[in-house]
Structure 1
């Protein structure tokens, strides 16, 4: 009897990058229902993969039991015991390279790794003589890894998930839905990707005049700031620090009508659930391949590229060219508000 194919997919971080794997994996399991998948990542990201057929989540505890070289050897042994037939490295960093090397030495698993396109991304973000063009998306790069181990998939055939039933815990925070729900995630990992506070407050103020409910997303560190904004409006609620888990956050996002986000993880949490997702871009650019999945091109709102022709400055937002600190101020609040209204 032929052995059932069993693919281990390896991607430890970051949140947005892991979320971008979800549409690819959902497309994969639909097209290959007889293939078993084990997804290896950090424990708090498990809710991203709940209820996906044939997918088992495996926790890589890189802070404790899987820490360091000995920990990675242990991780390899645990993964090898699952008897995989294939290994898809969606990360291609030192940890995954070590695990791949161990599989090469001690198993006959078929493997492939992601091509991150570092050279072309460097060409896209250099300060002068840049090559400004759309690069392959991260979603397609993930699909290509699976193709390279023998599984061609069409991610364009992705089916939008049904909205989840709002959990009882979330209902206590949101109340029943009686109007359009807008999510706003105003923060990002770097200031160069974060729309200025004063302008975002104008966006929220204008949207609050509509028959909508607005929910502000952020981490525990953002609680005070977001609560201060929410307290100024009757139909704005900060959920920062109020939801019990990522699972609860995803449940709420599933019930939004629109998500407004920076180039950050919340954009991908929304897009993977088929929510209309508008993103505001600063020193990064959708051409690098990190735009939310399956969203129209005009849902990406960009700075004035004529005034700032050197954009993008970096792939992740961690680098800014001199004089490019305030590129987002060329995006007027009314531009964002009008885009959201036109979609609603």
Structure 2
């Protein structure tokens, strides 16, 4: 089987296990395939938390892999899919774990990244690769898969044509309504809020979360000027709970702390009702992007041109060039695409003024947009 396909495939398998932000960026590629080939069956192998976010995505059969189960979990998936043979396997997981999992799947064609974008020797596990592309956003790299199959997509992409439609069940909306109660903060009747998700997933030498002091100062300065309360969100990890406690100990303005208290779908509903979201390079910036909520991404150790919230990249707090210069004595043109600044102190180059400036710019632009629509 060669690409592009001349006939619609009967069954496509998508292999992308993690993470929350990445699977959000992948959904438009799924929707593009569905729109072009509505009869094609799609099976998506993904991670446990990621499935919690995507649950109910129309037209997709999910197979869940819990990375904690290791080889045992892989064997369970191979057994589950032993009678399935896919026309195409879209190998979108740039990690050895995903490649090992792919070995037990039956497919006529295995499509992966080109050598320039592949990691962990992924090209050894595929029989066809994407055409090379330099300096792409993560979402654009995912869209290259349906493009390679023969799905007609504009180049560059038209943001207005991107589709997510991640379902939010009624139970999640009710959960969000229960949590978003400001009466205990002396703000009975308050319904307008903004969301701050302060942490990014903690990984070895991967520092993406801004400072506790910076977040607390941002909350107080914004409330002093606009009288709009903040909701803190995040998961139940030790790092996220510590961040929330540190912020709550420092702020003087009313804050609703929901860190570790919502389900993934509940978080989605909380974000959907927010005026805007502030977060570092993490899942919530892409979740907000997926549900059409304005988002201010705080970036210094990763390049927002590659990993920023796709529809809101113009409002990113982009201190990546500053961090490169200060900690690596390099410019963006002197490092490879995707280079991280792996210094724990690097996020401190972001100032509260940097973030407030982008929030106020966003609000001004949104006001103009609403007035024009009226």
Give the shorter-chain TM-score range.
0.7 to 0.9
What is the CA-CA distance between 1:100 and the residue it aligns to?
3.6
Instruction: Find the aligned partners of 1:116 and 1:14 in 2 and give their Cα distance.
Output: 22
- On the 8 A contact 1:272/1:293 being kept in 2, the answer is no
Shift in Å, 1:328: 3.5
Q: Indicate the residue corresponding to 2:279 in structure 1.
A: 261
- 2:220 maps to 205
The question of whether the paired residues in 2 share the 8 Å contact of 1:143 and 1:152 is answered with: no
Compared with structure 1, are the counterparts of its residues 255 and 28 closer, same or farther at alpha carbon in structure 2 (3 Å cutoff)?
A: farther
- Aligned partner of residue 168 in structure 1, secondary structure: helix
TM-fit CA distance, 1:225: 4.1
Return closer, same or farther for 1:207/1:92 CA change in 2, 3 Å cut-off: same
TM-score by length of 2: 0.73
1:229 aligns with 2:229: no
CA deviations on 1:123-166 (whole Å, 9 max, x unpaired) are xxxxxxxxxx9711111211212333343445531147599677
Is 1:259–1:275's contact at 8 Å kept on the other side of the alignment? yes
- 1:208/1:236 contact within 8 Å kept: no
1:15 equivalent in alignment to 2:20: yes
Residues 1:195 and 2:210 aligned together: yes
| SS of corresponding position for 1:218 | coil
Aligned to 1:110, what secondary structure does the other structure show? strand
> Structure 1 residues 311, 19: closer, same or farther in 2, change over 3 A?
farther
Equivalent in 218, 229, 237 of residue 234 of structure 2: 218
Q: How many residues align?
A: 319
Contact 2:57–2:166 (Cα < 8 Å) also in 1: no
User: 1:206–1:26: structure 2 CA closer, same or farther, 3 Å change rule?
Assistant: farther
1:184 aligns with 2:184: no
> How far 1:80 moved relative to its partner?
4.2
Contact 1:182 1:257 in 2 (8 A): yes
* Structure with bigger RCO (C-alpha 8 Å, 6+ apart): 1
Give the Cα separation in 2 of the matches to 1:151 and 1:304.
36
1:168 to 169, 174, 191: 174
Name 1:124's counterpart in structure 2: none
Structure 2 counterparts to residues 48-87 of structure 1, below 5 A: 48-64=53-69, 67-68=70-71, 71-87=73-89
Summarize deviations over 1:280-336 as a string: whole Å, max 9, x none. 11222124x21122223342432563953526689475723xxxx544443321221
What is aligned with 1:330?
349
TM-score (norm 1): 0.79
Matches of 1:229 and 1:332, distance apart in 2: 16
Deviates more, 1:194-203 or 1:17-26: 17-26
**Equivalent runs, 1:130-149 vs 2, <5 Å:** 135-149=135-149
Gaps of 5+ in 1: 121-132
**Partner SS, residue 63 of structure 2:** strand
Pair 1:109–1:96, CA change in 2 (3 A): farther
Residue equivalent to 2:258: 239
Unaligned ranges ≥5, structure 2: 1-6, 120-132, 183-188, 364-374
**2:3 match:** none
The secondary structure found in structure 1 opposite 2:295 is strand
